[in-house]
Every structure is written in structure tokens, then in C-alpha cells.
Amino acid sequence: MDRRRVLLADDHAATLLCWRALLEPEFEIVGTVRDGEALVDAFERLKPDAIVTDVGMPRLNGIFAAERILRRHPDARVVFATVHADRVMLQRALAIGARGYVLKVRVGDDLLPALRAALQGETHVSPFPTRDINHGAA
């Protein structure tokens, strides 16, 4: 059976290594990139089944990069992995068509289920803390 192909995007090499180690037993990692422009280019070139991307990256943030990809490829499967426990950012990610929003503090628990859900056309969102980290609102 062929493994599903995943492209990873984060501006920190250590994070990419962590995600690769977590995902490789089940998925084929077809590439890693460290900025949003490279993510858009790599998606067009590699045609992965799914993307796992950070929100905050140089040159083009993950939200804008994913939006660009999803505009051209509405069936693309995007999962965000981010430090931003921010409901406004979550709503923005879902509004552009993302299928997952995983808090980096929960990557070990939530990344695999989020990626599996995305590939089935479902949505998976990490539980948020009681109070938004970025806004201090309940």
C-alpha cells in the first residue's frame, strides 16, 4: 500500500525534524521548506496529498501561502501546527479551507489525528487552553 505524501513547512529546522520523526512511520515526507514562498513552489512541484505548515514564517506567512495554494487547488489538505492559541487565527485558517489546526504544545497528541482527518476530508482542531494565550480572553 502506498503511503500518503506530506509536505512540511516551518522556519525552524528542529521543528521539521520533530514532525518528520513523528509522521514518517505512517507517511512519506516528500519535502521540507522553511518559508511560505517555498511552500507554494514546493506544493506545485511535488503535488503532496497534504501539507503541515506553521503560521509564522518568513517571506510569506503560512496562512497566506495556504490561501494561495487552496485558491488554485481547493482539494488540497492543509493542517496548521502553530503556537497561536488564538480563536481569530483559527477561524481565519478554517475560513480559507484548512482542515486542521494543531497547537504546537499538543503536536505529539494531535498532529497524526489531524493529518489523518484532513486526508479524509474532515477537520481536527486542538483543544484550546481555557484562556487564549495571545488575547487573554476566555
CB count in 10 Å sphere of residue 56: 13
The whole-number pLDDT of residue 1 equals 57
Beta sheet of 50-53, edge-to-edge order: 28-33, 5-9, 50-53, 78-82, 100-103, 124-125
Q: What is the pLDDT of residues 6-39, one digit of tens each?
A: 999 999 999 999 999 999 999 999 999 999 999 9
The residue behind cell 497528541 is: 109
The answer to whether the beta carbons of residues 79 and 118 sit under 8 Å apart is: yes
Rounded CA Rg of the chain: 14
Q: What is the band of 137 on the pLDDT scale with cuts at 50, 70, 90?
A: very low
The whole-number pLDDT of residue 129 equals 81
Domains and CATH numbers, the chain: 5-125 (3.40.50.2300)
The answer to whether the beta carbons of residues 102 and 109 sit under 8 Å apart is: no
Q: What is the pLDDT of residues 41-71, one digit of tens each?
A: 999 999 999 999 999 998 999 999 999 999 9
The whole-number pLDDT of residue 101 equals 97
pTM of this structure: 0.90
Torsional sign, CA 30, 114, 37, 12: negative
